[in-house]
Amino acid sequence: MCAEITNITDIRRQNAEHIQTPDHPQAVLDTNMVMDSYGGPALLLDENFHILRHNDNADIICHALADHHPVLFSHLTRSLNTRTISTFKCTIEDQNPGATPSQRHFEMTVFPTQYGTNPPAQNVNGGTTRGQHMLVLGRETTLEQSITTALVTSRQMFKDLVTCSHDFAWETDQNGHFNYISPQGALGYTAHDLNKKSAEDLFLADTDNTQNPFPFITRRPIDTVQYQLRRSDGSRAYVHLSAIPITGADGQWQGARGVCRDISQQRERDAALQRVRHREHVLARIVTAMRETPQPEDMFAQAAEALLESIPAADHCYILMRQPKGLRHNDTLLLAHIGPTDDPDLTASLKNIVCEAWRQNPLDMAQLTSTSLLPNNDINEQERSCLSGFCLYQNEFNGAVLLVRNSTANSALVHQDGHWAVDEERLMTGVAGHLAIAIDQYQSHEELHRLAHTDELTALMNRRAFTAEMIRRLSPSQRNGRPGALLYIDLDNFKAVNDQKGHGCGDDVLRRLGELLNSRTRTSDLAARLGGDEFALWMDDIDAEGAREKALQLLSFKEDLRAYSGDTNPPLSLSVGICMTDPHRRQNLSQLLEAADNALYDVKKRGKGALTIIDTASATDRSNHHVE
């Protein structure tokens, strides 16, 4: 027998060597030597599970036996009854005094010693005992278990991150076939569609990738390189791709893995914005003479005034803008009017003229001007005469400039047949061409302003625009000595709507809430979407009671919004945190937002679907009013 026992394998071997045989009728296992040599927990039990002897490392096992640990007793009983070696795993609570309670894991092995031990084991009374005993050896696996658990947790974390990401992760084999795709799929394909599919099939036939070699079987790292791939419907997709090669333990290349980000929409947005900026720049050079004033409205007014002065026979000049694709009366916007008086009926008649001309497809007209007669409200005057010039830009009519004569009877400046002079029509044509550029520039400016200041989904102010306007209103020069209120609004249980009804329904909820805030607030109020399902409403000149009434009105919106969320559980509702301002104290937006957010936090903490009012003077001690 070996002088030292270092592992359970040695015990198994020696136990087999010392089982009774005809040649060794008295062979027994030297348990004392085993316990002295074994580095882990070791103890000897009799057939009644009494501990006959144990080493120092077996204290925790002894405590577990004293507590009748079910796993230990189950396997000890089975080993005793079957007289076979039993190996099993168990977890034991470490209850050492002064130590933090924790779980320790062991791999246990039970050796039945049917013919006793050598030397004879002593019982607790100091006497010797022979009979059916069990040698129990353990190996602690706590560290291995912790490492395994950490690896599983880490793997699950990265799997969740890949699942949640808009980017799609992939892995290919040596042949360039996908053997992994993110669960959400990519480019319109499902993960099942791409499984085992050749990555080369994703490339368009007309794509030149000579400068960017095929990335899905790369043998070197690739960092954020742009590629053009084929969507499931055959359309083109632009992606940013990063990849690294995969090598085995022997250093041999085995494939590649990486991530792709679809940047098609980003490219489209950037291209659209670039086109608008380029067009604005070009238009700015063309209409330099017409934009000597900083405000576009003043520019159109000066253009109308200059045109009216250049045609003395005209009494009025109107510049109208056609809303994109608009053909109705309400789609026409008055940009400028120069004349002796404002006549709403005349303005309406002029709008009807240009709308009717647009409906009749004026691109087929031989000229870009027309004349027409308008009824005159003054019974002593003849019919009015109108000269219209249509503003054509890139084969689209975006506006019109109109000259009106009140009377043709007593004017020496009017053409002898009562019509507008050819030179006047030519001038109108030239002015209309320049105004077409100016109107397009104006529309581009307004669109850029809208993109920069408006939330695309709800048509409310975005965070940047709201912050800028709030800073202006909170400045000392804008104060009027009256209080104001900042309402911080949050949709309760909105995530449940997205999860159960889909993000399309969630967008409908946000869009509807934006419509309600737009339609049921004062013109002086500021309503904004700060991000996600968080909204803000600033109200000037309002006291706490007025703010409370407004918040109660907002809370009533939940009935309207639930029509979109259906029977989602928990139901959709609103929570409102209100911060009242002190007109006699200097306050900044950060303080107000923090106080309103604290108020909203109190609502959430108390059960949602309610409002809490807090003023900045008491924000530090959290005194507030909670209303269900």
The topology under which CATH files domain 165-262 is: Beta-Lactamase (3.30.450)
CB 336 within 8 A of CB 318: yes
Is the model more confident about 597 or about 290?
597
Is the model more confident about 364 or about 93?
93
pLDDT of residue 478: 58
**DSSP state letter for 330:** G
pLDDT of residue 460: 92
In which band, very low, low, confident or very high, does the pLDDT at 379 lie, cut at 50, 70 and 90? very low
H or E segment to which residue 164 belongs: helix 142-164
Q: What is the DSSP string of 338-379?
A: ESSS--HHHHHHHHHHHHHHHHT-GGG-SSSEEEEEE--S-T
Is the model more confident about 454 or about 366?
454
pLDDT of residue 363: 52
Give CATH superfamily name and number for 463-627: Reverse transcriptase/Diguanylate cyclase domain (3.30.70.270)
Is the model more confident about 492 or about 328?
492
Treating both helix axes as pointing N-terminal to C-terminal, what angle do 494-501 and 503-519 enclose, rounded to 10 degrees? Answer: 140
Question: Whole-angstrom Cα distance, residue 205 to residue 244?
Answer: 25
What's the mean pLDDT in 171-192?
Answer: 88
In which band, very low, low, confident or very high, does the pLDDT at 26 lie, cut at 50, 70 and 90? very low
pLDDT > 90? residue 486: yes
pLDDT > 90? residue 529: yes
Is the model more confident about 29 or about 404?
404
The topology under which CATH files domain 282-448 is: Beta-Lactamase (3.30.450)
What's the mean pLDDT in 571-595?
Answer: 86
pLDDT > 70? residue 614: yes
What's the mean pLDDT in 95-100?
Answer: 65
What's the mean pLDDT in 476-480?
Answer: 62
CB 465 within 8 A of CB 452: yes
pLDDT > 90? residue 131: no
Buried b (16+ CB within 10 A) or exposed e, 172-197: bbeebbbebbbeeebbebebeebeeb
CB 512 within 8 A of CB 580: no
pLDDT of residue 108: 93
Q: Which amino acid would we find at residue 398?
A: N
Across 32-41, 105-114, 119-128, least confident range: 119-128
Question: Whole-angstrom Cα distance, residue 92 to residue 71?
Answer: 10
Provide CATH code, domain 8-146.
3.30.450.20
- Domain borders along the chain are 8-146, 165-262, 282-448, 463-627
Across 70-84, 244-258, 401-415, 416-430, least confident range: 401-415
Question: Whole-angstrom Cα distance, residue 507 to residue 496?
Answer: 13
| Residue 360: Cβ-neighbour burial (10 angstroms; 0-12, 13-18, 19+) | exposed
Do 282-448 and 8-146 have the same topology in CATH?
A: yes
User: What value does the mean pLDDT of the chain take?
Assistant: 78
pLDDT of residue 296: 74
Phi, psi values for residue 535, rounded to 5°: -130, 160
In which band, very low, low, confident or very high, does the pLDDT at 526 lie, cut at 50, 70 and 90? very high
* Tens-place pLDDT, residues 62-75: 989 988 899 999 99
What's the mean pLDDT in 150-168?
Answer: 72
pLDDT of residue 346: 84
In which band, very low, low, confident or very high, does the pLDDT at 431 lie, cut at 50, 70 and 90? confident
